[in-house]
Structure 1
Amino acid sequence: MNKLFQSLALCLAFSLPGFAAQPVNINAADAATIAESLKGVGQSKAEAIVAYREKNGAFKSVEELSEVKGIGDKTLENNRDLIVIDGTAAKPAAKKSAG
């Protein structure tokens, strides 16, 4: 029985990377794709992103996503490496200098 669990664990370990979130172009993707791709973004938040985009035009930066109701700083930081704008991955936010 122990060998069965080891085999199962090994299979799961190799298959998990296939379930990793994929980068998504928030200016082109539909709500379902956004919801599947971004961490902590469900269908209703994804629909709000699409509605904002349709009303205001394409997003120019990741930070602009914070204008969408329900999208906060934590969501942006958790997804920064998954968000694509105009074919390029989002850049890290500039660090504020202490001073």
Structure 2
Amino acid sequence: MKNLILTILFVILITSFALAKININTASKEELVQLKGLGEKKAEMIIEARKVKPFASIDELKNVKGIGDKFIENNKDNICVGADCN
């Protein structure tokens, strides 16, 4: 029973680190795919888009094909840009 409790606490601790805000202008593909509803292809599209022009707000993600209001709503607490990341 003690091992089970320790395992659960460990999972909670790891999950809390995994849910830290992700800066969409600096995150790696591996970090981006942790977001709800984002696969490798869309993560690569975000990376390509920010090379052309870094995102000024999370709403600008809607300029990336396949990303809309639902994605932003589902991830708004987990993503950030610029000063919002501090």
**Cα distance in 1 for residues equivalent to 2:36 and 2:56:** 21
1:7 deviates by 4.9
Query: Which residue of structure 2 lines up, in the alignment, with residue 48 of structure 1?
Result: 45
Q: Secondary structure at the match of 1:63?
A: helix
**Cα distance in 1 for residues equivalent to 2:84 and 2:72:** 16
**Cα distance in 2 for residues equivalent to 1:16 and 1:70:** 31
For structure 2, list consecutive stretches of 5 or more residues without a partner in the other structure.
Answer: none
Query: Larger Cα Rg: Structure 1 or Structure 2?
Result: 1
Query: Which residue of structure 2 lines up, in the alignment, with residue 31 of structure 1?
Result: 29
Paired residues, what number? 82
For structure 1, list consecutive stretches of 5 or more residues without a partner in the other structure.
Answer: 90-99
* TM-score normalised by length of structure 2: 0.78
Query: Which residue of structure 1 lines up, in the alignment, with residue 77 of structure 2?
Result: 81
Residues 33-54 of structure 1: per-residue CA shift (max 9 Å, x gap): 2113x12212111111111111
**Cα distance in 1 for residues equivalent to 2:6 and 2:73:** 31
Q: Structure 1 vs Structure 2: percent identity of aligned residues?
A: 37
**1:47-66 map, 5 Å:** 47-55=44-52, 57-66=53-62
Query: Which residue of structure 1 lines up, in the alignment, with residue 64 of structure 2?
Result: 68
Query: Which residue of structure 1 lines up, in the alignment, with residue 20 of structure 2?
Result: 22
**Cα distance in 2 for residues equivalent to 1:41 and 1:22:** 16
Could you list the structure 1 runs, at least 4 aligned residues long, displaced by more than 3 angstroms after superposition: none
